[in-house]
A and B are shown apart, each in its own frame.
Chain A
Amino acid sequence: MAFLEIEHLRKSFGTLNVVEDFDLAVARGEFISFLGPSGCGKTTTLRMVAGFETPSAGAIRIDGKDVTEAKPNQRNVGMVFQSYALFPNMTIADNVGFGLRVAGRPAAEIKSRVEEMLALIKLPQLGGRYPYQLSGGQQQRVALARALAVKPKLLLLDEPLSALDAKIRVSLRQEIRQIQRELGITAIYVTHDQEEALSISDRIVVMSQGRMEQVGTPFEIYNYPRTRFVASFVGTLNVLKAQVVDVSGKLTVDGQPVATAAHLDGTRPGEIRSVALRPEAVSLADADGESNRLHGTVEEVSFLGSVVRIRVRFGENAVSLDTFNKPSVPPPDRGTKVTVSFARDALLLLDGDAT
């Protein structure tokens, strides 16, 4: 049985459906990310799990116990907020020990637990300071320690790194993941940053307009996006309009034949469909006979340092491709006629029609 079960969860504000039919089973110790743009319903879903929003329909069970109607302070769920939400009137040690004091734990136990938590976040010497005396990264680590001090069943993190600068974001996300693994706690992490979600999650739930678009491991989400939205939101992606020639996998892109490795189930010959192609899967180099080839003209060349991004146009469609910078091989000029190649399995058919 899953540790956290979310069944047919729905949330409406008036006539507006913010979350629709959200279904998810999370295993004990799993790290799940809710990924999506602003307004996709990811934070609302998290807030329903925390108890700050009441679902319009559906059920939430934590460790087999139905908490759908339970108050936030009865769920034993730790929460880390984007704005840290440390209590400004309390010292760091008092902040970390707040939940334990509320629970009426003995003073000696609170003291030792606070010390343990401060050691866990590598800030053992800062217990006597006030939140305003700490940097943003330090405050967020304290917020994490405060949430973990009460030994919650579930750790919820609502865009915890959004207010921090890029370098700290990377180091702190690794730290969060390491602590989560160390404690074996089940965690849900809300973010709009796909790199963040891909790098730390066991599984990702991609959301759009209140719906779950796809649930899968970072590898699955990135390499096998099921919808056009997932494909475009996760990573950079070329989306091409292709005409189906044969459901066995034959298509044309601007009149040039290409083939997919898989069958084009659910399509009809003559139909225009969207296909996706990752920039790193496309190459300017010559390829073996099995690969797809498209002839086009270099439209744009962007020199990005170690990588050169080249845009090649075929007609209505164009693809961006990434090549490593080689000092001995200068990038092609704009207007140069080139042939691009890519493997058959790199071409992915997306759900829905191309319009």
Chain B
Amino acid sequence: MKRAKIGPWIALFLGTLYFIVPLIATFEFSLRMRRGEYSFDAYAVVLADARFQATFGYSTALAFATIVVGVLLVVPTAYWVNLRLPKLRPVIEFITLLPLVIPAIVLVFGYLRIYNSESWLPMTSSERLTDLLLTFGYVTLALPYMYRAVDNGLRAIDVRTLTEAAQSLGAGWPTILFRVILPNVRVAVLSGAFLTFAIVIGEFTLAALLDRPAFGPYLQLIGANRAYEPSALAIIAFGVTWACMGLINVVGRASHGQTPKAP
């Protein structure tokens, strides 16, 4: 009986090693900037770098914009598909999965071809418009994650009956969407939002080819030119991503008390 349990533990141990060793090695290397002793000098250099602050701030702002646009696009769509167009679900799911199949480089070349300064909709003609284009691009890249998160949340509640119950009590569509449906899929929306945030912070291709000062291209630039700072940046990026995952868990647990009980 005991022997049978050893196998899974070995697998778990090897799996943990596979993920942890490179991380520890990166962390350890990031501490070696000062000769002969460990220090956080690399972190201090990175954090003091104005370009770090600027690019991180830029990417954070775009991440929030992406989340807002994504939520406004995905929540009503997923709600309507669940409520009135369940037969369209496979089609919508296929569409939302396309960004995983089409590489970002293809997407951005498509954007440049359609929205270049010579086109009928020159979205690359000014920085603000390019930021907008980049935000829409991020929304597309995050679509598979945001849609799945929201759709799972909606499937966990009885959307149709809750909508009808609210309607019979006199509620109109805005009340139903914002006071009944959204609060009950809050955790799902937040999961999608945090995943979106993690994607946008690390994204390189779209930002680099649209020539915007985002965090992804900065990471690449530092990685190509410095020794210790890229490791420090990698650890910071890990930290940000993990913090997002942790927040999903915390929010998920905090709202546990609102989980509907199956009838």
Contacts and interface: CB of A to CB of B under 8 A. Distances in A.
Given A85-B161, A88-B184, A73 B263 contact: no
26 contacts: A52-B164, A73-B167, A73-B168, A73-B169, A73-B170, A79-B168, A81-B164, A82-B263, A85-B158, A85-B165, A86-B165, A87-B162, A87-B166, A88-B184, A89-B183, A89-B186, A89-B258, A98-B166, A102-B170, A102-B175, A130-B257, A131-B260, A132-B257, A132-B258, A139-B261, A150-B170
Contacts of B158: 83, 85
Interface in B150-204: 157-158, 161-162, 164-172, 175, 180, 183-184, 186
A130 B256 CA distance: 11
Nearest to A47: B164
Contacts of A131: 260-261
Contacts, number: 86
B16 interface: no
Contacts of A72: 164, 167-168
B261 A147 contact: no
B243 to A, nearest CB: 26
Contacts of B186: 89
A82 B172 CA distance: 22
Given A71-B167, A130-B258, 4 more contacts: A88-B259, A98-B166, A132-B257, A150-B170
B164 A85 contact: yes
Contacts of B165: 79, 81, 85-87, 143, 146
Nearest to A135: B261
B252 to A, nearest CB: 15
Interface residues of A, number: 35
A132 B169 contact: no
Contacts of B183: 89
Given A83-B263, A132-B259, A150-B169, A88 B157 contact: yes
Contact of B261 (A81, A132, A143): A132
A83 B171 contact: no
A59 B259 CA distance: 40
A94 to B, nearest CB: 10
A71 B162 CA distance: 16
A174 B258 CA distance: 31
A99 B170 contact: yes
A99 to B, nearest CB: 4
Nearest to B165: A85
B190 to A, nearest CB: 14
Contacts of A99: 169-171
Closest CB pairs A-B (n = 10):
A99-B169, A88-B260, A85-B165, A79-B168, A132-B261, A89-B183, A72-B167, A85-B161, A163-B263, A83-B263
Interface string A61-100: 0000000000111011111011111111100000000110
B261 to A, nearest CB: 4
B170 A79 contact: no
Interface in B227-251: none
B167 A52 contact: yes
A103 B172 CA distance: 11
Nearest to B168: A79
Instruction: Tell which of B166, B168, B172 has the most Cβ of chain A within 10 Å.
Output: B168
Contacts of B261: 131-132, 139
A136 interface: yes
Contacts of B167: 51-52, 71-73
A310 interface: no
Interface string A184-215: 00000000000000000000000000000000
A258 interface: no
Contacts of A79: 164-165, 168
A77 B168 contact: yes
A114 interface: no
Nearest to B257: A130
Contacts of A76: 170
A282 interface: no
Contacts of A312: none
Nearest to B260: A88
A50 interface: yes
B258 A84 contact: no
Interface string B125-164: 0000000000000000000000000000000011001101
A48 to B, nearest CB: 13
A73 B164 contact: no
B171 A81 contact: no
Contact of B168 (A50, A84, A103): A50
Contacts of A136: 263
A147 B164 CA distance: 12
A320 B91 CA distance: 56
A87 B170 contact: no
B184 A89 contact: yes
Contacts of B180: 87, 89
Given A99-B170, A150-B169, A87 B184 contact: yes
Interface in B66-103: none
Contacts of B184: 87-89
Nearest to B162: A85
A147 B158 CA distance: 18
Given A88-B260, A130-B257, A102 B169 contact: yes
Contact of A83 (B161, B168, B172, B259): B161
A89 to B, nearest CB: 4
Contacts of B169: 73, 78, 98-99, 102, 146-147, 150
B181 to A, nearest CB: 10
Interface in A137-167: 139, 143, 146-147, 150, 156, 163
